[in-house]
Chains A and B, each alone.
Chain A
């Protein structure tokens, strides 16, 4: 204990990190982080050309198509779950709200971080909101909404961190908290208690804001492509792109909650309290049923859109086959699996449907932003991501998973602390 007291706070945190077990997963994470650090240095010292295959024909690549488009869509579980629980009154989904909000917060946080790699000059990130207002641009609206919604999500998520910080107690041995850190935590405790109370009091307004902001920017991501009718393949281009993006984001969010819940159930079963374990089946069945109705509506809208634009003849081309695979394999099939799961009360169908829906959303965003974009260009001018671009996306996903694992292991996300149980 005396030796630990002499240790500096910096060394204490380094010791905490280096004392992590050397499991294959941790070693793989470390290798990916090293790759990420290398790509970061290259991107910000040698320029975007050194790490990506982007050019004037294809200014948006995998960092926009996957990190941003898919990240935002899959993070929609935050507003769908919290609005179901707090606005629509489905209290039986309460145990799903915290994991959903955590996933959404991490998703949006790393969307912004990934965007910095694509845009460059991170110090200019606040420019659209402070120096040069681009009020006629859809990107301005997306940036404004994502910025505000990230702040809203942070506030919604903050009770998890505050409850964890307030519950830390001093212990003996290797797990002992550094005395200076502990002293700071004890000093912070009454302030955290007050802030947490205010945040919980703000739950409903925050949820309402979350729904409004999500409605705006989820659809605006689709609107970004309205300006390029000649570049996007007719099967994917539609005047209803904003509606498609918004509706599909609801299905993506709900499916992501089921998908992430399934993984958490397998890997972090021991971290869940009785309420979470008891409610998890009901959450899957309830959200899956809602998702089947949304996917059915989405499927029908897509069919009607083909009729509206008279795109039937395109279905008999190569792109048409790819479109049909997306529509039937990753929309209609999970919709029926969800419906069958709801009828049979079979969560196995639901979990497979959730995985298919998540895959379908990724496929759809890839198609709109990359595969079907610039479809008329010769193959030599088409975009294909470079190895380093893919590695950066892997790095971003690894960061999200690592942060999620840390939060799930340390913070009261999958369980409730006794001292705060009555306040939720």
Chain B
């Protein structure tokens, strides 16, 4: 229960800061998941040379 707007803001803002921190870590993980195989294979960024 929040008695003042200040209470509400302190609660939601602190939660959002934690969420933002988690988001940043998750985003790095997601980006590594997305690009890991490119880096490993060292494939050029040229679609014409790719075999599908």
Measured CB to CB, the residues of A under 8 A from B are 92, 278-279, 281-282, 285-286, 289, 292-293, 296-297, 300, 303-304, 307-310, 339, 342-343, 345, 347
Contacts and interface: CB of A to CB of B under 8 A. Distances in A.
Contacts of A297: 27
A296 B26 CA distance: 10
Interface string B6-40: 00100111011001100100110011011011000
B41 to A, nearest CB: 10
- Interface bracket on B: 20 to 34
B3 interface: no
B34 A342 contact: yes
A296 B36 CA distance: 17
Given A282-B47, A304-B19, A307-B19, A293 B12 contact: no
15 contacts: A282-B47, A292-B34, A296-B27, A300-B26, A304-B20, A307-B12, A307-B19, A308-B13, A339-B30, A342-B34, A343-B34, A343-B36, A343-B37, A345-B50, A347-B52
A272 to B, nearest CB: 16
A281 B13 CA distance: 44
Contacts of B13: 308
B16 A307 contact: yes
Interface of B: 8, 11-13, 15-16, 19-20, 23, 26-27, 30-31, 33-34, 36-37, 46-48, 50, 52
B38 to A, nearest CB: 9
Contacts of A278: 48
Nearest to A343: B37
B50 A307 contact: no
Contact of A293 (B11, B20, B23, B34): B34
A309 B47 contact: no
Nearest to A304: B19
A246 to B, nearest CB: 19
